[in-house]
C-alpha cells in the first residue's frame, strides 16, 4: 500500500475524501465538546449505535488493502459516526452512548496515523 502507484486523478480523489473525513471528524469533535459543556435536550427516545463500524474495524485489522480501499472504508465509517453523533445529540449524558461515540471517533481518527505511516514510506 503506497501513494507511489496512484495516478494524479486517484490522488485528487483521495485528497477530497481525506478532506471530507477531516471535516466530519472536526464536526463530531465540536458536537462532543458542546454536548459535554451544555447537553441538548433529547428530541426523541431513540438511541443510535454503529456496531458495524467496530466489527468491520476488528475484522479488517490484518487485511491487506489498497490506499484507495482504506480511505474509502474510513470515509464510510466517518459518515456513519457523524450520523450517529447528530442523531444522539441530547443523549450524550448517557455514559454508554458517549463512550460508544467516543470509541467510534477514536477508530475513525486512527486514519491520521495510517496516512502518516504511508507518507513516511
pLDDT at 117 over 70: yes
CB atoms within 10 A of CB 117: 10
Render pLDDT for 40-77 as a digit per residue (tens, 0 to 9).
888 888 889 898 888 898 898 888 888 888 899 999 99
pTM of the entire predicted model: 0.88
* Beta-carbon contacts of residue 10 (< 8 Å; ≥ 6 apart): 68
Contact between 100 and 49 under an 8 Å Cβ cutoff? The reply is yes
Q: d(Cα 30, Cα 15) in Å, to the nearest integer?
A: 22
Q: What is the mean pLDDT of the chain?
A: 89
Contact between 42 and 90 under an 8 Å Cβ cutoff? The reply is yes
* Cell 477531516 -> residue: 22
Q: d(Cα 59, Cα 64) in Å, to the nearest integer?
A: 12
* Cell 457523524 -> residue: 82
* Cell 456513519 -> residue: 80
Task: Tell me, rounded to whole angstroms, the distance of Cα 15 from its chain centroid.
Answer: 16
Render pLDDT for 68-109 as a digit per residue (tens, 0 to 9).
888 999 999 999 999 999 999 999 989 999 999 999 999 999
* Beta-carbon contacts of residue 105 (< 8 Å; ≥ 6 apart): 25, 28, 29, 32, 81, 85
Amino acid at each position: 500500500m503506497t501513494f507511489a502507484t496512484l495516478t494524479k486523478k486517484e490522488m485528487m480523489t483521495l485528497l477530497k475524501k481525506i478532506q471530507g473525513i477531516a471535516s466530519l471528524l472536526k464536526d463530531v469533535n465540536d458536537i462532543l465538546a458542546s454536548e459535554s459543556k451544555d447537553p441538548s435536550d433529547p428530541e426523541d427516545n431513540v438511541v443510535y449505535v454503529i456496531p458495524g463500524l467496530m466489527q468491520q474495524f476488528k475484522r479488517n485489522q490484518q487485511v491487506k488493502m489498497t490506499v484507495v480501499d482504506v480511505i474509502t472504508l474510513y470515509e464510510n465509517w466517518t459518515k456513519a459516526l457523524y450520523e450517529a453523533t447528530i442523531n444522539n445529540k441530547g443523549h450524550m449524558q448517557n455514559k454508554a452512548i458517549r463512550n460508544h461515540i467516543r470509541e467510534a471517533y477514536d477508530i475513525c481518527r486512527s486514519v491520521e496515523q495510517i496516512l502518516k505511516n504511508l507518507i513516511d514510506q
